[in-house]
């Protein structure tokens, strides 16, 4: 005999069963971290990485500073060594220039149209009695070695007489057959009262006339 069993279906109108409720006393801040990789691991790893990076950077910086110091020390040694050599070279160069200048002056005196002995002899022969020569200065005027003369002396008489005598002496030097052809110009550069005496002190400049250059 067959039994027909029918499954009864819960009515949708039947109220659902309320879930069971109980208080949650868990303190999440004190609960252990149950993650596979804990957060503190990442924090510590990052902190260690930053620290190592800073140490490496500081070490590289110190090494770089040390390397620069070594380079500066080596450069300073080389500079000091070259400085001594340079000073010695400058000293020798100055010594050579001084000696070369002396040789040039001597050569200029030898090649001058008139030598010092002849010049002094002619001055003695043409010197008026009211005029006395105190000094004769001969010097090269330029790089070409041209020798010029400077006469310093005293002229006697009243100021007017002394001034006239000095001017007449200059004119006589210009008109001299030997001195006038060698020197041009011959000028009275200075004429003042001498503080040591009642005479007038004069200064006569005599420049050797420029010689025409020889055509090659």
Q: Which of 214, 3, 2, 209 is nearest to 113 (CA)?
A: 209
Distance CA 125, CA 29 (A): 129
pLDDT in tens, 79-123: 887 887 888 888 888 888 888 777 766 665 555 677 778 888 888
Stated pTM of the model: 0.47
Give yes or no for residue 145 having a pLDDT over 70: no
Give the per-residue pLDDT at 216: 46
Instruction: Please give the torsion angle defined by the CA atoms of residues 49, 52, 53 and 56, in that order, rounded to the nearest 10 degrees.
Output: -160
* Residue 171 banded pLDDT, cuts 50, 70, 90: very high
Q: Residue 22: helix, strand or coil by DSSP?
A: coil
187 contacts: CB under 8 Å, gap ≥ 6: 170, 204, 205
pLDDT digits (tens, 9 = 90+) for 2-61: 445 454 555 555 555 555 565 665 665 665 655 555 667 677 788 888 889 888 898 888
* Residues 82, 86: Cα–Cα separation, whole Å: 6
Taking the CA atoms of residue 79, residue 83, residue 89 and residue 93 in that order, the dihedral angle to the nearest 10 degrees is 120
| d(C-alpha 146, C-alpha 137), whole Å | 14
Which of 16 and 136 is assigned the larger pLDDT? Answer: 136
Q: How confident is the model at residue 184 (pLDDT cuts 50, 70, 90)?
A: confident
DSSP assignment, residue 144?
Answer: T
For residues 149 and 203, the answer to whether their CB atoms sit within 8 Å is no
pLDDT, residue 14, reads 53
């Amino acid at each position: 005999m067959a039994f027909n069993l029918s499954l009864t279906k819960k009515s949708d109108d039947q109220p659902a069963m309320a879930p069971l409720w109980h208080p949650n006393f868990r303190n999440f801040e004190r609960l252990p971290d149950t993650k596979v990789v804990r957060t503190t691991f990442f924090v510590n790893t990052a902190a260690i990485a930053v620290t190592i990076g800073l140490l490496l950077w500081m070490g590289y910086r110190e090494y770089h500073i040390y390397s620069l110091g070594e380079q500066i020390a080596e450069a300073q040694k080389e500079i000091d060594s070259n400085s001594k050599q340079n000073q010695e070279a400058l000293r020798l160069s100055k010594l050579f220039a001084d000696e070369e200048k002396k040789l040039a002056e001597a050569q200029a005196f030898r090649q001058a149209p008139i030598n010092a002995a002849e010049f002094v002899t002619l001055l003695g022969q043409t010197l008026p009695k009211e005029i006395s020569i105190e000094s004769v200065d001969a010097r090269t005027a330029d790089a070409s070695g041209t020798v010029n003369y400077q006469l310093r002396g005293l002229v006697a008489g009243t100021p007017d007489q002394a001034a006239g005598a000095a001017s007449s002496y200059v004119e006589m030097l210009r008109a001299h057959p030997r001195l006038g052809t060698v020197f041009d110009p011959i000028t009275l550069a200075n004429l003042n009262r001498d503080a040591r005496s009642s005479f007038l002190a004069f200064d006569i400049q005599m420049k050797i006339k420029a010689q025409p250059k020889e055509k090659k």
